[in-house]
Amino acid sequence: MESLNDADVQLARLKKWLDREQRARAESEAIAEKALSELYTKKKEIELLQLITVAANEASTVEQAMRTALDGVCAHTRWPVGHVHLKDSAGVLVSTNLWHLDTPERYKAFQSATEAVTFAPSAGLPGRVLQQRKPAWIVDVTKDANFPRSKAAQDTGLRAGFAFPVLVGEEVAAVMEFFSDEPAEPDDAVLTIMAHVGSQLGRVIERRRSEDALKLASQHKSQFLANMSHELRTPLNAIIGITEMLQEDARDANRDSDSEPLGRVVRAARHLLAVINDILDLSKIEAGKMDLQVGSFAIAPVVQDVVNTVGTLAAKNQNVLKLQCPPEIGSMCADQTRIRQALLNLVSNAAKFTENGTITVSARRAFADATEWIVISVADTGIGLTAEQQGRLFQDFVQADASTTRKYGGTGLGLAISRRFCQMMGGDIAVESEPGRGSTFTIRLPAEGVSPQPPELPKAPSKGPSKSPPPMARTAVPHRAPLILVIDDDDSVREVTTHFLTREGFVVTTASGGQEGLRLARELQPDAITLDIAMPDLDGWTVLAAIKGDPATAAIPVILMTIVDEKNRGYSLGAADYMVKPVEWSGLARVLRNICKSAGRGVLVVDDDDMMRSGLRRALHEDGWKVSEAENGRVALARLAEQRPDVIVVDLLMPEMDGFELLDALRSNAAWRDIPVLVLTAKDLTDDDRVRLNVGIERVLQKRDRQELLREVLDVLDRCIERRRGESVAVS
Amino acid sequence: MKGVVFNLLEAVIRRDYGDDMWETLLDAAGSHGAYSSLGNYPDDELMKLVGAASSALKMPPDDVVRWFGRNALPLLAEKHPHFFASHKSTRPFLLTLNDVIHAEVRKLYPGADVPVFTYDTSSPEVLLMHYRSPRKLCALAEGFIEATAGYYAEEVSLDQPECMKRGDDRCVLRVSVRKPKG
């Protein structure tokens, strides 16, 4: 019995133990479940906050961030309705169109009731939040004394509501409110998280406000700079133009004692202009307003051109300027003007800081970081730079040291600007140097270029064949000196422009205002118009739009000549070209010649060599010529009968009817006798040949290097057209 | 007090005094005895169990607590060896209590109300640990410290120049440790 009793005791004890263990286990599970559920809630809260934070940082507008928050909070709480009220300038909450509605149809009445009213501080749920600047919760809005929309809520079945402020500092900028279908007790965790949401959104508004303020300040700055640039460049423009006229007169009259100081005035004024341009460039880059005109272009001519430009400066310091840039380097895609500007800066710096030395400009292609690069380096044997000087080199307004400025001049902005340009094009400028040994500056640019922003409009749409056919009046009369209409309200600009363009062989008419300009454009049908922007009676943009809008004048190319640098706007309005005052006369003349030439001057190319013909056709076509072709003299005569070209390019040795025979035929026909002829030949000319060619031949070119030949052909043809133009000017 | 402490007490009582003793103590303390290691239970319940053990084992309560600490620590070391393995002796281990050991305890047992010690390390031989807690479980600390020295096979001498139980406003545990000779 004793042992049975023992066993019972043992059993009872084990049972007790088991009960205890089961209870402990249940307790553990309850603890774990509670912890898991809390963890889940926390995770959801973190996700919501993360959503709001990302939206706050990345949303491009406040509205977008708020919409994300509305949807996020509704998803988090599983409440069907959310809405945003914004505080207006009177300090009252005004309903917005920002809603989250699970079923829009169902809550329509509540939506209308909300949008129909505004909430003053303490009025209704939003007003309460506005006044107290902290979240508020209503267990059942249909039973709340301070809830003006309770009827609409009752009708649509909305019961619980909470709202929280979007705080900018201490100020309530907006209130977000949410409603559920069931009455609900306040949830402190939700309210805590909503306070975070509100402050995150507040930061978006704060950021937006400061951005707006900055933008406004930047606009004011840009406007100021534009005005200043106008104010500065207008008088400079007159100084440079008039002084150049005086200087020319003095030179013509051999009055050297007058010409020399006038030259100094021009140089000083041009320097001042360069300084102003530098400062404006830099401010524009700073303001993000510098537009790049990205396009594909051949590298070698640009580099060659820069080297030619700096030649004189280099020679002045007894420097040898070497160029290593083979034509095979090909093309790149970038802003040609800016690259030219940067390279010019580097090469002229090298020329400036080197005496009795060598400056080597070399260009090559390189492959790195999966990108093809164009590397252009400018190496000199000049004074060089210390490591410390190199460090300060690219900083704005800083030269190697202050004494450098006095000795060598310059603004100290050139390098900084050049570097910014290269960086905008996806590249950079680097320097290696040793004091006393020389410096090497290297421009590195991606060959294919970068597109920082899509170009607003293709450049110069009116260049090349224009959509509307050119008026017959202008094309029908070949070899007339081109008529240019100059529209500008500034007397000195009109005077100076007339002076230089007349000298360049153009006939010039002027108009002192937009109205007069439009009238003359219609009446005279000029070959081209130069147009000022800032004019009192009718501004240039309006005039340009009117010219392009009138079929009678739409085809006349317009060159904007202005102080306001808004190229893209000009091109988008149909300007053929855009020149910033003070205008480089040779540049304007070149542009005008191109434009006038493209009004349909014809050239007949006679050659049996297909390659040669197609090469010439392409080059001439690019230069604005209308090209017709013939493979021998007989075909050429047929072409001549169809249409009389302005110039003929002819090969000597051809089957069927050779060049000599063709020339004889031309001379025997009165209608063709006057057509200038350019002879291209691979033949070594005999004395006999020369005699035969002596009459009526513009020039004989030997066929050797193709590229060079093409360039020469273009040159000769240009000159020949210009000479004719001069003749007609003389007779007109 | 965290349930894990009750679990440890149960383990050492059962091991050294048998299952019946634990049942006796539970009955004497009037406890249900179901302790989850994650749960929290009143400090008073632990003190009642200590009081019951004191009567049953005929030991002063502080001696029971010290004995418990000395015997519980090896179980902890077995369960969490990495806390101990990163040190080679008692003193550096004791110095990590606040920042490492108790920090980890808080992670394992959220809500654990572990004491914060302050140290006086001005002497390289004698470490002074200051303990201040309404639980006044300095004897548990003593037991833990003695067992820690045992874990590192060191000899320790330990006394309390100040003790809250003697009316001081804090306890000062004076610990000097040395490697055994030979």
Per residue in A591-647, pLDDT (tens digit) is 777 777 645 567 888 988 877 787 777 777 666 567 888 988 888 988 888 888 878
Mean pLDDT for A177-181 is 95
% of chain A at pLDDT higher than 90: 20
The whole-number pLDDT of residue A94 equals 93
Residue in chain B lying closest to A19 (CA): B34
Those of residues 471-510 in A touching chain B at CB distance below 8 A are none
Q: Which of A20, A31, A35 is nearest residue B34 as measured by Cβ atoms?
A: A20
Are A313 and A280 members of one domain? Answer: no
Q: Which of B23, B39, B110 is nearest residue A27 as measured by Cβ atoms?
A: B39
Helix, strand counts (H, E) of chain A: 23, 23
Q: Which residues of A touch B35 (CB under 8 A)?
A: 24
Are A547 and A660 members of one domain? Answer: no
Q: Do B33 and A31 touch (CB under 8 A)?
A: no
Q: Which of A17, A31, A35 is nearest residue B36 as measured by Cβ atoms?
A: A31
Q: Which residues of B touch A16 (CB under 8 A)?
A: 23
Q: Do B19 and A32 touch (CB under 8 A)?
A: no
CA dihedral in degrees (A713, A714, A716, A720; nearest 10)?
Answer: 130
Are A23 and A120 members of one domain? Answer: no
Least confident of A160-174, A207-221, A512-526: A207-221
Structure token pair of residue A396: 């704005």
Q: At what angle do helices A610-622 and A706-731 cross, to 10 degrees?
A: 50
Cα within 13 Å of Cα(A61), Cβ side: 4
Name the strands in the sheet holding A528-531, side by side, starting at the edge strand that comes first in the sequence.
A507-511, A483-487, A528-531, A558-562, A577-580
The whole-number pLDDT of residue A3 equals 65
Q: Which residues of A touch B38 (CB under 8 A)?
A: 28, 31-32
Q: Do B36 and A16 touch (CB under 8 A)?
A: no
Q: Do A24 and B36 touch (CB under 8 A)?
A: yes
**Domain stop point among A286, A309, A328:** A286
Which value does ipTM take for this structure? 0.73
SS (H, E, C) A385-420: CCHHHHHHCCCCCCCCCHHHHHHHCCCCCHHHHHHH
The whole-number pLDDT of residue A570 equals 72
Q: Which of B19, B23, B36 is nearest residue A27 as measured by Cβ atoms?
A: B36
The whole-number pLDDT of residue B51 equals 96
Structural domain of residue A616, as residue ranges?
Answer: 602-731
Q: Which of A13, A17, A28 is nearest residue B38 as measured by Cβ atoms?
A: A28
The architecture CATH gives domain B82-178: Alpha-Beta Complex (3.90)
**Domain stop point among A148, A171, A186:** A186
Residues B127, B128, B129: CA angle, nearest 5 degrees:
115
Q: Do A21 and B110 touch (CB under 8 A)?
A: no
A339 near A297, Cβ under 8 Å?
A: no
Band (pLDDT 50/70/90 cuts) for residue A684 is low
Tokens 């710096």, located at residue: A349
A287 close contact with B: CB closer than 8 A: no
Q: How far apart are CA A18 and CA A14, in angstroms?
A: 6
Band (pLDDT 50/70/90 cuts) for residue B93 is very high
Q: How far apart are CA A3 and CA A5, in angstroms?
A: 5
Q: Do B34 and A16 touch (CB under 8 A)?
A: no
Band (pLDDT 50/70/90 cuts) for residue A397 is low
Band (pLDDT 50/70/90 cuts) for residue A1 is low
The whole-number pLDDT of residue B58 equals 95
Are A549 and A629 members of one domain? Answer: no
Residue A129 counted as domain residue:
yes
CA dihedral in degrees (A677, A678, A680, A685; nearest 10)?
Answer: 80
User: Comparing A555 with A286, which gets the higher pLDDT?
Assistant: A555
Q: How far apart are CA A173 and CA A94, in angstroms?
A: 11
User: Comparing A405 with A194, which gets the higher pLDDT?
Assistant: A194
Secondary structure class of A700 (helix, strand, coil): strand
Tens digits of residue pLDDT in B143-157: 999 999 999 999 999
Residue A196 counted as domain residue:
no
Band (pLDDT 50/70/90 cuts) for residue B26 is very high
Mean pLDDT for A238-256 is 85
Are A577 and A629 members of one domain? Answer: no
Q: Which residues of A touch B39 (CB under 8 A)?
A: 24, 27-28, 31
A626 near A603, Cβ under 8 Å?
A: yes
Locate the domains of chain B by residue range: 3-59, 82-178
Residue A193 counted as domain residue:
no
Give how far B37 is from chain A: nearest CA, Å: 7
Confidence check: pLDDT of B21 > 90: yes
Are A311 and A276 members of one domain? Answer: no
The whole-number pLDDT of residue A97 equals 92
**Domain stop point among A393, A412, A446:** A446
Residue A197 counted as domain residue:
no
Please state the domain count of chain A.
6
The whole-number pLDDT of residue A471 equals 32
How buried is A14 (Cβ within 10 angstroms: 0-12 exposed, 13-18 middle, 19+ buried)?
Answer: exposed
Q: Which of A16, A17, A24 is nearest residue B35 as measured by Cβ atoms?
A: A24
Mean pLDDT for A296-324 is 87
Residue A199 counted as domain residue:
no
Q: Do B19 and A28 touch (CB under 8 A)?
A: no
Q: Do B38 and A23 touch (CB under 8 A)?
A: no
The whole-number pLDDT of residue B123 equals 92
Q: Do A24 and B19 touch (CB under 8 A)?
A: no
Give how far A20 is from chain B: nearest CA, Å: 5
Sign, CA torsion A586/A592/A594/A596: negative
Confidence check: pLDDT of A486 > 90: yes
Give how far B27 is from chain A: nearest CA, Å: 12
Are A675 and A712 members of one domain? Answer: yes
Q: How far apart are CA A83 and CA A66, in angstroms?
A: 9
Q: Which residues of B touch A35 (CB under 8 A)?
A: 110
Q: At what angle do helices B61-79 and B138-151 cross, to 10 degrees?
A: 40
Are A301 and A354 members of one domain? Answer: yes
Those of residues 34-93 in A touching chain B at CB distance below 8 A are 35
The whole-number pLDDT of residue A450 equals 64
Residue A159 counted as domain residue:
yes
Candidates B2, B9, B19, B38: best to mutate against A (most CBs of A within 10 A) is B38
Give how far B44 is from chain A: nearest CA, Å: 19
- Bridge-based pairing state of the strands A171-179 and A161-168: antiparallel
Give how far A127 is from chain B: nearest CA, Å: 40
Band (pLDDT 50/70/90 cuts) for residue A467 is very low
Highest mean pLDDT: which of A53-57, A466-470, B77-81?
Answer: B77-81
Those of residues 6-35 in A touching chain B at CB distance below 8 A are 13, 16-17, 19-21, 23-25, 27-28, 31-32, 35
Are A313 and A340 members of one domain? Answer: yes
Tokens 């004719």, located at residue: A724
Q: Do B39 and A28 touch (CB under 8 A)?
A: yes
Residue A693 counted as domain residue:
yes
Q: Do B36 and A13 touch (CB under 8 A)?
A: no
Confidence check: pLDDT of A153 > 80: yes
Q: Is the bond into A301 cis (omega within 30 degrees of 0)?
A: no
Residue A198 counted as domain residue:
no
